[in-house]
Amino acid sequence: MARVVVDVMLKPEILDPQGQAVQRALPRLGFDGISDVRQGKRFELEVDGPVDEAALARIHDLAESFLANTVIEDFTIRVEEVAEAAK
Amino acid sequence: MTARIGVVTFPGSLDDRDTQRAIRVAGAEPVALWHKDKDLKQVDAVVLCGGFSYGDYLRAGAIARFSPVMEPLLEQAKAGLPVLGICNGFQILTEAHLLPGTMLRNNHLHFICRDQKLRVENAGTAWTTDYAPGQEIHIPLKNNDGQYVADAYTLDKLEAEGRVAFRYVVRGEAADGCGNPNGSQRDIAGVSNEAGNVVGLMPHPEHAVEPLIGTGRTDGLPFFTSILKKLVNA
């Protein structure tokens, strides 16, 4: 079994009101020096079988059509090593 | 025989009964459709109503877009079936790419609920012929993700083709329903597809069809009489 991580972020030119709300709270919490916050989504997909090219292509389709709205969002896909002990 | 207008209920839909009622008040026959239906029961038009389909957990409308009922709907909408998406229904239509652009969280991050003033920019769509071009109407608005966004090319194209169907009226005080309620680009409240049979808008005409409820006016009723007239005369 392997884990594939899909990160979805709003495109840089799209206003992120949630990220801005988080950023505005930072000085109140004593965190200075953070000039911008953007909030995204992380999906962890547990995949049965090998994560070969075909599997990654299918996940790419899934991310493009469903997990991300490509009108406003970009996504990245990466395979994460699952520790032996956890198997 | 009068026109039969389908209303789809998804898990999380809130306004299906109000929408059915609005259709009945206009003089047409509402037909309840379920999200798992694989056919549209030969209806003459469909309304995707407001609410929070599938909890809006991924993005507003993103999961509903892939439910079984959407397969025949997408196919027939492309062939000319009139479809109206209200609020969550509008979000579903953008996720399905039947309408361009998409909806973001309101720019102020608050759920908003108020009577909203709109201007009818296009009285030529299947759902707006009973309005006059430029007419200003008051109908309720209630949403969390109502900020309409699209890239500049798409926005320019929509404007050039007259497909901005409704705009928020921005003069005056916010208290009387004026002003852009959610940061929508170019104050857009509703758009149509190229053929004018598919229309989406954020505010809720189905809550303003009888003087006793909603805004106390019936400014939303022409949506449903427009489509009825179109279908009966067809």
- Confidence grade of residue A87 (pLDDT, cut at 50, 70, 90): very low
Closest-approach residue (CA) in chain A for B58 = A67
**Cβ B192 vs Cβ B163: under 8 Å:** yes
Return the SS3 of B34: strand
Predicted ipTM of the assembly: 0.79
Side chain identity, residue B48: L
Average pLDDT score over residue span B163-176? 84
We report the CATH number of the domain holding residue B50 as 3.40.50.880
pLDDT over 70 at B174, yes or no: no
Q: Is B206 a catalytic residue?
A: yes
Structure confidence by residue, pLDDT tens digits, B33-90: 999 999 999 999 999 999 999 999 999 999 999 999 999 999 999 999 999 999 999 9
Residue A72: closest CA among chain B residues belongs to which residue? B102
**Percent of chain A having pLDDT more than 90?**
71
pLDDT at B175: 61
The verdict on a CB contact (< 8 Å) between A72 and B107 is no
Residues B78-136 pLDDT 10s: 999 999 999 999 999 999 999 999 999 999 999 999 999 999 999 999 999 999 999 99
> Is domain A2-80 classified as CATH 3.30.1280.10?
yes
| pLDDT score at B216 | 83
Tens digits of residue pLDDT in B185-229: 999 999 999 999 999 999 999 999 999 887 788 999 999 999 999
Average pLDDT, chain B: 95
Return the ∠ at Cα B93 (arms to B90 and B96), rounded to 5°: 155
> In chain B, how many domains are there?
1
Q: Which residues, in sequence order, are bridge partners of residue B4?
A: B29
Domain that holds residue B111: 4-233
Distance to chain B for A85, nearest Cα, Å: 32
CB atoms within 10 A of CB B173: 8
Q: What is the model's pTM?
A: 0.91
Best probe of the B interface among A22, A72, A73, A75, by most B CBs < 10 A, is: A72
Q: Classify B159 as helix, strand or coil.
A: helix
Per DSSP bridges, beta strands B83-86 and B136-143 are unpaired
Given this model, what pLDDT does residue B1 score?
64
Q: Is B54 in contact with B14 (CB distance < 8 Å)?
A: no
Q: Distance from B51 to chain A by nearest Cα, in Å?
A: 20
Q: What was the pLDDT predicted at A28?
A: 87
Per domain, the residue ranges of chain A are 2-80
